[in-house]
């Protein structure tokens, strides 16, 4: 008798819990989703990685498998630009190329997971996602670093990349599509001045003469 009462009590508590879980699951809808697939774009990102390290950067997609990460924080990375060309990574600071600094090694490895995942998401047809109550879409998958979630805004921009096993989390803001040059200019005539010829580091002064100027 006592055992029957215990089972009945357990059922009383389990049934509402099942109903609640079913309702929560019903709030999410799985389906195909098309994120923004601009060949070139940039986004500001706040990066949290490793043992509590943080960085602020601008992540730019120049082309498929070609990315740049320009750091503004912390001070040890400010001004450093990491260029990802496939699996090759190079670094520069104010235009000067150098080997990837030790302070950037952790960020370099982590960003490889991000750029690879974003490239794969852009190429996927279709991209299977789950829509959330707030209208965002979550794509779940595996990369070299482990299982990740990639969250998109309903309009297609990436919002969050989360890779708990590392740990690594990037929160994106200010998604901007790279402007394409719409104006085609005439070839410029290059004239080297005497001063430039005498200089140890020659420079070129470029002038463009239009038809009207030539007639005068």
Domain total in the chain: 1
Task: Say if 213 falls within a structural domain.
Answer: no
Nearest to 171 by CA among 149, 144, 155: 149
Task: Say if 209 falls within a structural domain.
Answer: no
Task: Say if 204 falls within a structural domain.
Answer: no
**Predicted local confidence at residue 179, as pLDDT:** 74
Q: Kindly state the tokens that stand for 207.
A: 């002038």
Q: Following DSSP, what letter does each residue of 37-95 receive, concatenated?
A: --SSEEEEEEEEETTTEEEEEEEEEEETTEEEEEEEESTTTTTEEEEEETTEEEEEETT
**Predicted local confidence at residue 212, as pLDDT:** 44
Task: Say if 194 falls within a structural domain.
Answer: no
Task: Say if 71 falls within a structural domain.
Answer: yes
Nearest to 118 by CA among 73, 79, 89, 156: 156
**Predicted local confidence at residue 58, as pLDDT:** 98
**Tens-level pLDDT at each residue, the chain (216 residues):** 555 444 544 444 444 444 444 444 445 667 889 999 999 999 999 999 988 999 999 999 999 999 999 999 999 999 999 999 988 899 999 889 988 888 888 889 899 999 999 999 999 888 999 999 999 999 999 999 999 999 999 999 999 999 999 999 999 999 999 876 333 334 434 333 343 333 333 333 333 444 444 444
The model carries a pTM of 0.69
Structural domain including 109 reads 30-174
Cα(58)–Cα(165) distance, rounded to whole angstroms? Answer: 24
Task: Say if 198 falls within a structural domain.
Answer: no
**Predicted local confidence at residue 121, as pLDDT:** 94
Q: CB 71: neighbour CB atoms within 10 A?
A: 22
Could you list the beta-strand ranges (E) of 74-203: 80-85, 88-93, 96-98, 127-131, 137-143, 146-152, 158-163, 168-177, 189-191
**Predicted local confidence at residue 199, as pLDDT:** 36
Nearest to 152 by CA among 161, 142, 144: 161
**Predicted local confidence at residue 30, as pLDDT:** 78
Average pLDDT, the chain: 78
Task: Say if 47 falls within a structural domain.
Answer: yes
User: Can you give the CATH number for the domain in which 72 is found?
Assistant: 2.50.20
Task: Say if 216 falls within a structural domain.
Answer: no
């Amino acid at each position: 008798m006592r055992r029957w009462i215990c089972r009945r009590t357990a059922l009383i508590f389990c049934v509402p819990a099942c109903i609640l879980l079913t309702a929560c699951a019903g709030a999410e809808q799985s389906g195909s989703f098309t994120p923004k697939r601009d060949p070139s774009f940039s986004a500001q990102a706040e990066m949290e990685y490793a043992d509590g390290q943080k960085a602020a950067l601008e992540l730019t997609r120049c082309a498929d498998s070609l990315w740049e990460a320009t750091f503004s924080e912390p001070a040890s990375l400010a001004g450093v630009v990491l260029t990802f060309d496939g699996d090759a990574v190079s670094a520069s600071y104010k235009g000067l190329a150098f080997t990837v600094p030790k302070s950037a090694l952790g960020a370099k490895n982590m960003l490889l997971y991000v750029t690879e995942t974003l490239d794969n998401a852009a190429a996927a047809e279709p991209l299977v996602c789950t829509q959330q109550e707030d209208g965002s879409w979550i794509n779940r998958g595996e990369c070299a670093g482990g299982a990740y979630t990639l969250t998109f805004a309903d309009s297609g921009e990436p919002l969050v990349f989360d890779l708990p096993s590392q740990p690594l989390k990037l929160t994106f803001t200010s998604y901007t599509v790279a402007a394409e040059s719409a104006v085609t200019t005439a070839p410029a005539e290059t004239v080297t001045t005497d001063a430039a010829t005498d200089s140890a580091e020659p420079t070129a002064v470029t002038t463009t003469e239009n038809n009207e100027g030539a007639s005068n």
